[in-house]
Amino acid sequence: MIIIGLGNPGEKYSNTRHNVGFMVLDRLSNSWKKGPNYLYSDINISGEKIKLIKPMTYMNLSGEVFKYLPHDDIIVVYDDLDLPLGKIRIRKNGSAGGHNGIKSIISFIGQDFPRIRVGIGPKPENIDAADYVLSNFTKEEFEVLDKIINLCTEAIEYIVENGIDKAMNRYNSIEISIGK
């Protein structure tokens, strides 16, 4: 299985909302090796070999990683502006929903791939979506984010052990809020 976390390369973007996919994978592994146009880490979950992938293109070119990787048995983890911070949504497939990284992946492999969408919304009305996803989390939001990243890693382990259908039933109704 291959788990791909979406984000933007470089320290400038490391704590931005758009890098949630990278943050989840960093929680699973802190040892990264260089591949062609991506970083990877080999881990083991319940006896199964898992390859973690962080594309080193910018978000809008995330699909280019499939020039080097197979696209069966994958899960993509990424930020979702339409979900509130503190919520994740596991899906078997779907559209890009306006997410440029997912649009890029769909252009390479189609839309039939499992994904974990990590809520980063809602976006304030007075800010452009591109500016918002490239902004850093507040201190209070980081407290929720830390719990959500833990929830995502737990969900990934659950998917490996029990499958996507059971994971959707278990995790899609959970919501974490500030102060909980």
pLDDT of residue 85: 95
Nearest to 18, CA basis, from 71, 68, 81, 70: 81
What is the pLDDT at residue 151?
97
Q: Say if strands 115-121 and 88-91 run parallel, antiparallel, or are unpaired.
A: antiparallel
Residue 39, pLDDT score: 98
Q: Which domains does the chain have, with CATH numbers?
A: 2-171 (3.40.50.1470)
- Residue 71 bears catalytic tag: no
pLDDT on residue 28: 97
Residues of the chain under the 70 pLDDT cut: 178-180
Annotated catalytic residue within 18, 54, 99, 117? 18
Identify the residue whose tokens are 């492999």.
109
pLDDT in tens, 131-179: 999 999 999 999 999 999 999 999 999 999 999 999 999 999 888 886 6
Contacts of residue 15, Cβ cutoff 8 Å, sequence gap at least 6: 136, 137
